[in-house]
Structure 1
Amino acid sequence: MLSESTMGDPPRFLSSFFGVFKKGKSNGKKQTRFQNPVALPEEIHHQFSLPQIKAATNNFHRDLILGEGGFGTVYKGFFNDGKSAVVKRGKLESEPGASYKEFRTELLMLCQLRHQHLVPLIGFCFEMGEMILVYEYMGDMRNGTLPDRLYGSGYDPLPWKQRLEICIGAARGLHYLHTGAKRAIVHGNVKSGNILLDKKWGCKLSDFRTSKLRPRRSCKPKASERIDPLVQSNLAYLDPEYLETAQLEEKCDVYSFGVVLFEVLCARRPFVEHDGEMKTTTLVDLACKSIKGGTIYDMIDPYLKGRIAPECFKLFVDIAGSCTRVVGD
């Protein structure tokens, strides 16, 4: 248990909390209703009808769009109880296939999860080919996603303390996924863009499309196991070992989280261009080389220089490096 006195001391708090993340230390249209998603109390999940969703979003009006992603379009919805919600509408496809699998995965996972640093699921809709998830609306959402605040235009730089609190919140969310259930849950798509910030700067992990239960230790990897295309699309966050084994485990999340830590420290994107050329390298590669060369301080966000206690800086870098360390390095 972490004491209040420990939390008041950033280096001690980081050391005691992030220790768990050090890599290698942890052991079709005809269907109109989604039947029995999971046996949970009604207040945890609710099946909305398509007319309810259309009414809440003014028939998916473009003025209510909050954003668009690989899964589909996200709207702000207004329901009859006076509450606002985030309505995530999957892309309409003649052959749902993989999209249905992603939708079902995220739904089943979120129905079982309740944590202050995970986006809460309110309900879902599966009618007439529509695959819709409804989440709690996080305040006024003006703080957007983590990368918006790290290197988006028009924003003041995030203070170091605020960055630390965001990282600690994300770490707590991941720790819950990995240890808070009978079977560990692997997020599978940890990246700064999936860390949402509410109006009070509280962070929540989102996007559980690639999440899965960790394989039982007794299970042998299947020879036919394939790398998930959605996971592979985020190469800068991808654990190199996953490319070799295709086994999505907790350490994959740990590696990705380490990439996020370097983003937070350096305020740089995970892929780095070389002098405007097409050739790119990863932020992790640059950071690891700088650590070995003793020049990591030169890479950090200029705004943070002189604003981080030396012992805190060293510990943060050690944690990020430990998360992204590949076996054999």
Structure 2
Amino acid sequence: MPIATTQIETRVFRSAVPLLNACQPLFKGSPEQYNIIYPQTAQAVRQEIDGTLGDDNLWITCSSGAQVSAPDLVLSCNEDSHGNKLPIFIASSLPMATLSNTDFLMPRLQRLVATLYDEISRTRVFSVFAVAPITIAFSQLWTEKTGIPRELQPYYSATYARCTKQSFRNKQFTILGDTSYDLRLAERNDVDAVSDLCHGFALTSPPFILTPQKACEEAEFLINHKQVWVHTINRPGAKEEIASIVAVTRESASVSAITKVFTNPRWRGKRCAERLVRYVTKILLYKHNKEAVVLYVGRENAARKVYQRVGFTAPSGQALCDDQGSNEGHWLELGFDREQVVLGHW
């Protein structure tokens, strides 16, 4: 029997410190399910300590009865380290079968929506990203509450993918004819090239487009924090080029998340991204000793083949290219009418 609505409680956190104190056992116990909220919360704690955290940060937990220390759902409404407003993220460690149960999910999301509505401006919620059943139900309830309709097309429909030491495929790198290459962390003098590729990546992710200036700021941040790797190309008589970038911007003790992969169109079809993803994944698994490297890949994205060759699998254990129709590990971002909300970025 579903727990009665009167037994469902929400708790609002305006500070990351008490949230992390309350939920750290949950986050540590389910680092993959919380691979977005957990690292962001840890970063917010560091920013609070050094006084750089903005005012527009909010977390809400939703618990059943006495399970206050192990909430069913955790919602974040935050800014990133650049001050950009982020989507609403909702995560849970509960199995997909439970989250797909309308009788279980709807009363909890009704409480989350009501609490969020009381805490923030209705224009602040420009999109929501979570496993598909949560995203769909939340967006319906938010539209009913605010009158702001959803955008017709999803912003992002993705499969959650993971790679472990057991699934990783350590293949030899192929040679690119008369060229040589290097795989390494980006350096300060790479800013212009990394900025161009960050800008190119954003152009593939509407509506979250970066201006060239914002792309440069992002590149500088990634390089300064050692969060971006590059695949260089060296040809006889030519200046070194950067063909691909891979960014890893969310990390916990046991899980690292690849958050950006992009290849210069001039160098596509030569497996530059695959080489770099494999190189970075190997470093994270073996040098940094992570239990898993994770990422989200578009359900219609041809890059699924790249990640599959490296050793990434769907949560079901199936090959990524065989898992497009599965609801297991399906994450969805839905946006709200851009004429009525203030668009952020992520």
- TM, length-normalised to structure 2: 0.24
Q: Which has the higher contact order (CA 8 A, sep 6+)?
A: 2
More strand by share: 2
